[in-house]
Structure 1
Amino acid sequence: MGFLSNFAYWREAGYFDTASHGKWLLHTWSLSVEWQFYIVYPLIILATRKLFGASMTKMLLVIGALVSFALCMYMSNRSPSAAFYLLPTRAWEMLAGGIVFLFPMQLKDTNKKVASTFGLVLIALSILMLDASDVWPGWLALIPVAGTALLILAADQTSVVTNNKLSASIGKASYSIYLWHWPLVVLLGYYGVSDSAAAIAAGIAASILLGYASLYFVETPSQKLNIKTAQRPHLAGYALVVLVIGACASTVFVKQGFESRVSKIAAQADIERTNKNPASKTCFIESGVDSPKCIFGKKDAPVSVIVMGDSHSDAVVSAVVEAAGPEKSTLYLGYISCMTIPGMKLQGMPSSYQCGDFVRKEIEELKTTLPGVPLVVINRSSVYVFGHNEYQDRTRGPLMYFNEPGVLDATYKEDFRKRYVSAMCEIAKNRPVYVTKPIPEMIKNVPTTIARNEVRFGKSQDITLPLSEYKSRNQFVVSVMEDAAKSCGIQLLDPEPELCDSQLCYGSINGKPLYWDDNHMSESGNKKLVPIFQSIWN
């Protein structure tokens, strides 16, 4: 209602993250950006036209579009979420249409066909070639925007693709179809059928049907409403409906929902969904090479242990702190999606991502810093080699690479093995090194699945993973860790006895989640690992 949803979602997960697929109104970010543009754009035109005249106004709009595009390319690498959601990096896309209107060109019929065809080809390429692994929007957004601009410029009335009743009809309903499509995507995910071709086809059909229903029963009648002649009671009724809906939504937002409407198990699962490391925002870095070097535990005590790793280390560092005891302090060196191997790179990450340089820098500093203090390495190791197990990666080959993205073959595995063993042995030259074996990845979002099963079916079932699957997925990286242990005496910490029995690994126990998503342990769940970390001092 306030055209600010893009700011809210900017602060949360990325558009293509699995968490985003549970947000029913995520798509309203674009409506907010558009309305922000349509509010500001006319004011800018009026002001510049009055101050500088029509010709200069046109040139300033072109300059503004170029500046916005340059900012888009820069921010897409530095801060992808900001580039995706915010108006300054998106304005050029909408200005492109205005520029085509302000600088009209009279094309011959043959040139119209060429421009129209080329525009359609660019749009088709953007659909077929671009995916979630691409840095977006960035320069790649120029492909569909240029294609659309060419279609507008061509205005080819003889095109069999754009100038027909079906295209015109879909165009009229497109806004309403857009409003319906994302809630239906979320609904498919809610019922666990988002990978079903039949369900996807039904979702597309439902989006179209509901879009047309909205067009003819909501959009069209509202456009014909004559405010001057409309009866005041009708207008008051519309206003009352909006106020009631707004008040209810605000109440739900302020109270963060109503816990009493669900069972204790569902409410408990919802709590665990946000039970993450509270220090992540300040201690867990996502870019650059400089760590804040946060100290956990007793701040004025000498550092008794160092924890280094990726988001799995961020998820369980508090368990290390508890294992150390109240009189000790823990130094934390965490970096997002960062395997502890110098020089590593990750597909699809912006240029601000410098994990490989970060690791190299920290290993170099550790040669002279806090000698003899044990270091615990915690990584989601298998994901860098084999990809995610909770969804299908859109990248080709392993996520992690060193020189150029490659293929998962014997050569890659051997290179990975040598680099990992070398890194661990380098750290182990002046301190004990403890490497935590992989934490089970549960595939399903544990708290969300438990809560949904409880609400939908009135029953909860613990989320589990067959032990055989856990061992199979991690067999290679565990063998690499064992090689490092043989080569330079590092010690391995095994979470399996704490999280698995002879057949299953558990994502929850008696309905209480141990994870806040599908692979990151919650602040209460990670305490299951305290015993393995206590072995550092025993």
Structure 2
Amino acid sequence: MKFREDINALRAIAVVSVVLFHFNHEWLPGGFAGVDVFFVISGFLMTMIIVKGLEKESFSILSFYKARVRRIIPPLAVLCFVLMLLGLFLLSPIDYLNLGKHSAASLTFLSNVVYWTESNYFNPSSNEKWLLHTWSLSVEWQFYLIYPVVLVLLRKFLTLHQLKAVIAISTVLALLLSILVTMKSSSAAYFLLPTRAWQMLVGGLVFLYPLNLKANTKSPLQLIGLLLIVTSFFIFTPATPWPGYASTLPIIGTCLVLITHNNESFVVNNKLTHALGKWSYSIYLWHWPIVVAGYYFELGAYWWAVGLPLSIVLGAVSFNYIESKSLKDYRLDKIKVILRPIPFAVMSSLLGLTIFHSNGLLSRLPQKEQLLVLSAIEAKDDWFYPEPNIEIEGLEIRFIKGKSNKNILVMGASHIEQIYPYVSSLDNEYNIYFLTQSGCFVTPSMKNPKWGCGDLQNYQKLLNKIKFEKVLTSFYSFNSYLPISSSKRQTEKLIRIKEYDDFLFNLKSPNSDNKCTTLG
């Protein structure tokens, strides 16, 4: 296939949107939709490769897998290995343990399932997961494994025309499934292949049912498609149920761009989009660990000024010295090409499992510290925090029923959630209401800019509705909520401490004499 600048431009737009979103959600609140753009492109290209091969009766599943291995695994394996090497010196045993687990999951393309079982993608704790972004690679790889096998088997019984119809019907059914699951379990819908498959299948439909467009309609349609994609980056937020019906907007936009097949437009054919599109996979791989580093090492609110160019530089280096070199091996024997990256990936995966099963290489610590870490790991394994089970005045609450009509309010960020398992195991005299939001604070001026904190900051609604005998609060370091890093940092910190002091003074139900306890 002749190089398509429009597809390359879509990759550039997708990776830029995701990177900007990850560095600051306020820049592009719906930038996560860039992943959906990638999925459509993948579906389009994979369907084209498979169906053309079936038409010529020359399709080889081994060759198909070889191409996917050659492109995806080498840069990913290098990333995982580098992170595990650096983590040995920079991460705590528990964090290193998780990195090992996630590296192995990423290299076996099961990370989407692992992350689904751990937490919501948009939860602030996600900022502690160095390889969270590999969930999308796992979804794609699972699709790559299943899709060609299914089409080859169906081709034995169906004509190509019938096969196209089956793909079209499957796309509609998969979309309906995605919408239904998104309403029931947004986390499962976000991470898992069955609810993402339609996005790749719809890309396949663009190839299977091409439109003959007049030359003068291509540019306007392409522009409309690009506008739909960009619009989705601004009108959607992490609070939008995804990838249900809302995700059809960027999907339709991407399809319009693919349908027009217009390489002449300056919007898609320029040096910037050409470079970013080529480097998009490698930029995507490297940018997220850089984002996490900013959080993990508390590098300040302006870390993006270093992180953004560093993501591009590392992406370019990865493309030129890892990705492109592996792509140039296409003349080698099929089996050799598959095996060359696989030993390194297997080695890196085994290293990750070793780190995980050795509790983050715990033996590197003194004996006393090992015992402390082991106790922390055991406690973490027993921890749980359920989904909200009641709603009061629009606020989502975890409610534990007690024996009396007396009430306790537990409110704060994620740190106070740690007491839930203990509290829920008690024979409680009080009704206990948990009002928490990770990464959030209670006063608007102290709002964490990356997360919607509406429930927590509207706590007064709950106080007006219910009389609480006791209120228990806990929040993370004030430094985590300072929006800027400057010479005025200490002054601003003192102002915010005063605000929090006022909050504690006023924290009581109307006409009640409740007591407030703060956990440091």
TM bin, normalised by shorter chain, reads: 0.5 to 0.7
The structure with the largest alpha-carbon Rg is 1
Please give the alpha-carbon distance, in whole angstroms, between the structure 2 residues aligned to 1:439 and 1:254.
33
Q: 1:9 to 1:422 in 2, by over 3 A?
A: closer
> Is 1:438 aligned to residue 503 of structure 2?
no
> Is 1:278 aligned to residue 382 of structure 2?
yes
Q: What residue number does 2:87 align with?
A: none
What per-residue deviation string (whole Å, max 9, x for no partner) do you get for residues 147-190 of structure 1? 11111111112211112343233222211111111111112223
Structure 2 contact 116–191 (Cα < 8 Å) conserved: yes
Using the TM superposition, give the Cα deviation of residue 423 of structure 1 relative to its aligned residue in structure 2, in angstroms: 2.5
Q: What residue number does 2:307 align with?
A: 203
- Given candidates 199, 214, 223, the residue that maps to 1:117 is 223
Q: What residue number does 1:492 align with?
A: 514
Structure 1 segment 42-191 matched on structure 2, within 5 A: 42-191=148-297
Please give the alpha-carbon distance, in whole angstroms, between the structure 1 residues aligned to 2:144 and 2:334.
27
Please give the alpha-carbon distance, in whole angstroms, between the structure 1 residues aligned to 2:172 and 2:187.
20
Out of 73-82 and 46-55, give the one that drifted further.
46-55
Using the TM superposition, give the Cα deviation of residue 214 of structure 1 relative to its aligned residue in structure 2, in angstroms: 1.7
Using the TM superposition, give the Cα deviation of residue 116 of structure 1 relative to its aligned residue in structure 2, in angstroms: 0.4
Partner amino acid, structure 2, of 1:473: Y
Partner amino acid, structure 1, of 2:463: Y
How many residues are treated as equivalent by the alignment? 395
Q: 1:399 to 1:8 in 2, by over 3 A?
A: same
**Secondary structure, aligned partner of 1:494:** strand
Using the TM superposition, give the Cα deviation of residue 56 of structure 1 relative to its aligned residue in structure 2, in angstroms: 2.5
**Secondary structure, aligned partner of 2:121:** coil
Using the TM superposition, give the Cα deviation of residue 11 of structure 1 relative to its aligned residue in structure 2, in angstroms: 0.9
Q: What residue number does 1:420 align with?
A: 463
> Is 1:330 aligned to residue 427 of structure 2?
yes
Using the TM superposition, give the Cα deviation of residue 30 of structure 1 relative to its aligned residue in structure 2, in angstroms: 0.4
What per-residue deviation string (whole Å, max 9, x for no partner) do you get for residues 309-358 of structure 1? 56768543577689xxxxxx514xxxxxxxxxxxxxxxxxxxxxxxxxxx
Please give the alpha-carbon distance, in whole angstroms, between the structure 2 residues aligned to 1:231 and 1:153.
35
Unaligned runs of 5+ in 2: 1-106, 392-396, 482-491
Structure 1 contact 307–376 (Cα < 8 Å) conserved: yes
Structure 2 contact 181–189 (Cα < 8 Å) conserved: yes
Using the TM superposition, give the Cα deviation of residue 245 of structure 1 relative to its aligned residue in structure 2, in angstroms: 2.5
**Secondary structure, aligned partner of 1:14:** coil
Structure 2 contact 108–349 (Cα < 8 Å) conserved: no
Q: What residue number does 1:253 align with?
A: 356
Structure 1 segment 361-380 matched on structure 2, within 5 A: 374-375=430-431, 377=433, 379-380=435-436
**Secondary structure, aligned partner of 2:118:** coil
**Secondary structure, aligned partner of 1:52:** coil
**Secondary structure, aligned partner of 1:209:** helix
Please give the alpha-carbon distance, in whole angstroms, between the structure 1 residues aligned to 2:381 and 2:409.
14
Partner amino acid, structure 1, of 2:278: K
Partner amino acid, structure 1, of 2:362: E
Q: 1:469 to 1:2 in 2, by over 3 A?
A: same
Please give the alpha-carbon distance, in whole angstroms, between the structure 2 residues aligned to 1:69 and 1:468.
50
Q: What residue number does 1:481 align with?
A: 508
Q: 1:213 to 1:101 in 2, by over 3 A?
A: same
Please give the alpha-carbon distance, in whole angstroms, between the structure 2 residues aligned to 1:210 and 1:3.
23
Partner amino acid, structure 2, of 1:81: S
Please give the alpha-carbon distance, in whole angstroms, between the structure 1 residues aligned to 2:185 and 2:319.
37
- Given candidates 392, 410, 422, the residue that maps to 2:449 is 392
Partner amino acid, structure 1, of 2:454: L
Please give the alpha-carbon distance, in whole angstroms, between the structure 1 residues aligned to 2:372 and 2:284.
34
Using the TM superposition, give the Cα deviation of residue 87 of structure 1 relative to its aligned residue in structure 2, in angstroms: 0.5
Structure 1 segment 497-536 matched on structure 2, within 5 A: 499=519, 506=520
Structure 1 segment 296-307 matched on structure 2, within 5 A: none
**Secondary structure, aligned partner of 1:3:** coil
Please give the alpha-carbon distance, in whole angstroms, between the structure 2 residues aligned to 1:270 and 1:134.
39
Partner amino acid, structure 1, of 2:500: R
Structure 1 contact 438–474 (Cα < 8 Å) conserved: no
**Secondary structure, aligned partner of 2:314:** helix
Please give the alpha-carbon distance, in whole angstroms, between the structure 2 residues aligned to 1:389 and 1:270.
35
Please give the alpha-carbon distance, in whole angstroms, between the structure 1 residues aligned to 2:312 and 2:502.
47
RMSD between superposed Cα atoms in Å: 4.2
Partner amino acid, structure 2, of 1:26: L
Q: 1:209 to 1:190 in 2, by over 3 A?
A: same
Q: What residue number does 1:472 align with?
A: 499
Q: 1:145 to 1:235 in 2, by over 3 A?
A: closer
Structure 2 contact 282–316 (Cα < 8 Å) conserved: yes
Using the TM superposition, give the Cα deviation of residue 422 of structure 1 relative to its aligned residue in structure 2, in angstroms: 4.1
Partner amino acid, structure 2, of 1:103: Y
Please give the alpha-carbon distance, in whole angstroms, between the structure 1 residues aligned to 2:293 and 2:430.
48
> Is 1:224 aligned to residue 267 of structure 2?
no
Structure 2 contact 228–250 (Cα < 8 Å) conserved: yes
Structure 2 contact 116–188 (Cα < 8 Å) conserved: yes
Q: 1:272 to 1:392 in 2, by over 3 A?
A: farther
> Is 1:214 aligned to residue 318 of structure 2?
yes
**Secondary structure, aligned partner of 1:24:** coil
What TM-score, normalized to structure 2? 0.64
What per-residue deviation string (whole Å, max 9, x for no partner) do you get for residues 209-241 of structure 1? 222222221122212225756998x99876654
**Secondary structure, aligned partner of 2:178:** helix
**Secondary structure, aligned partner of 1:11:** helix
Please give the alpha-carbon distance, in whole angstroms, between the structure 2 residues aligned to 1:71 and 1:420.
40
Partner amino acid, structure 1, of 2:314: L
Q: Greater helix percent: which structure?
A: 2
Please give the alpha-carbon distance, in whole angstroms, between the structure 2 residues aligned to 1:288 and 1:376.
12
Q: 1:272 to 1:467 in 2, by over 3 A?
A: farther
Out of 434-443 and 96-105, give the one that drifted further.
434-443
Structure 2 contact 478–493 (Cα < 8 Å) conserved: no
Using the TM superposition, give the Cα deviation of residue 421 of structure 1 relative to its aligned residue in structure 2, in angstroms: 3.6
Using the TM superposition, give the Cα deviation of residue 387 of structure 1 relative to its aligned residue in structure 2, in angstroms: 5.7
Please give the alpha-carbon distance, in whole angstroms, between the structure 2 residues aligned to 1:384 and 1:226.
54
> Is 1:16 aligned to residue 95 of structure 2?
no
Q: 1:153 to 1:378 in 2, by over 3 A?
A: closer
Q: 1:471 to 1:70 in 2, by over 3 A?
A: farther
Q: 1:385 to 1:228 in 2, by over 3 A?
A: closer
Please give the alpha-carbon distance, in whole angstroms, between the structure 1 residues aligned to 2:207 and 2:388.
41
Higher relative contact order (CA 8 A, sep 6+): 2
Unaligned runs of 5+ in 1: 297-302, 323-328, 332-372, 402-407, 425-432, 447-464, 486-490, 500-505, 507-538
